Amino acid sequence: MLLGSSHQQPQFIIEITILSAEGLKNTSSALFSHRLRPFVTISTVLPAPSDRDNNRHSYQTRVDDSGGVNPTWGDKFRVPVDSTFFANRYSCIYLQLYTKRLISGKTLLGWCHIPVSDIGVPPAGSLQHRSYRLRARDGSRGPGTLNVSVKLESATLLGGNGFPLDTCQTVIGVPLTVWPHVGKTAEN
């Protein structure tokens, strides 16, 4: 099926499972020692403090009340993206790890991103388990890692018809000529 002149972009579904985090550091002071209540937000657009765009796809895991510095979630999300996401080599899935505080709201523990090169390389439908080092607010190396699984699940047109993944890729090849195999004679 061809896209034609309707300019419909194929829609891809990236299935992301937030598995766990390891080695987190509690950011509370000795005066206010609170346990960690971590959760993760997921977005395809770099989050900004003043961002009020409601059209942006943003997701959030449940709060892990009992995991402490090694929380587990297992929460699965289906993130829709179009083909322009894969055309831009700087595209990423942004993950931010917060802890929920009763008085001060949420506090950033760290962030990381899943680059487009980690999503689109393997065959469609293959599940990848990845671990990403968390970064501090300023981008320096932070404590802990975030474990996720990522799967490029499917591609569909906006109208709902199936669209195979491999038809969106340009292939450059060298033509080969295959000669018939001539066996040796058994004279020896």
pLDDT tens track for 3-13: 343 444 557 88
Lowest mean pLDDT: which of 65-69, 104-108, 173-177?
Answer: 173-177
Q: What pLDDT is stored for residue 21 in this prediction?
A: 96
Q: Is residue 50 part of a domain?
A: yes
Report the percent of the chain where pLDDT is more than 70. Answer: 64
Into how many domains does the chain fold? 1
What's 77's domain CATH number? 2.60.40.150
- Give tens-digit pLDDT for 136-146: 988 899 889 99
**Alpha-helix runs per DSSP H in 2-128:** 83-87, 116-120
The arithmetic mean of pLDDT across residues 52-56, rounded, is 52
The arithmetic mean of pLDDT across residues 69-80, rounded, is 94
Q: Is residue 79 part of a domain?
A: yes
Top-confidence residue, 155 or 149: 149
Q: Is residue 156 part of a domain?
A: yes
Q: Is residue 125 part of a domain?
A: yes
Q: Residue 150 above 80 pLDDT?
A: yes
The DSSP secondary-structure symbol of 130 reads E
Q: Is residue 184 part of a domain?
A: no
The arithmetic mean of pLDDT across residues 12-28, rounded, is 89
* pTM for the model: 0.71
Q: How far is CA 54 from CA 51, 57, 78, in A?
A: 9, 8, 18
The arithmetic mean of pLDDT across residues 12-35, rounded, is 81
Q: Return the closest-CA partner of residue 110 out of 83, 143, 78, 79.
A: 143
| Bridging pattern class, strands 92-101 and 38-43 | antiparallel
Distinct helix (H) and strand (E) counts, the chain: 2, 8
Q: What pLDDT is stored for residue 165 in this prediction?
A: 42
Domain coverage including residue 159: 8-168
Q: Is residue 176 part of a domain?
A: no
Residue with tokens 């896209």: 3
Q: Is residue 179 part of a domain?
A: no
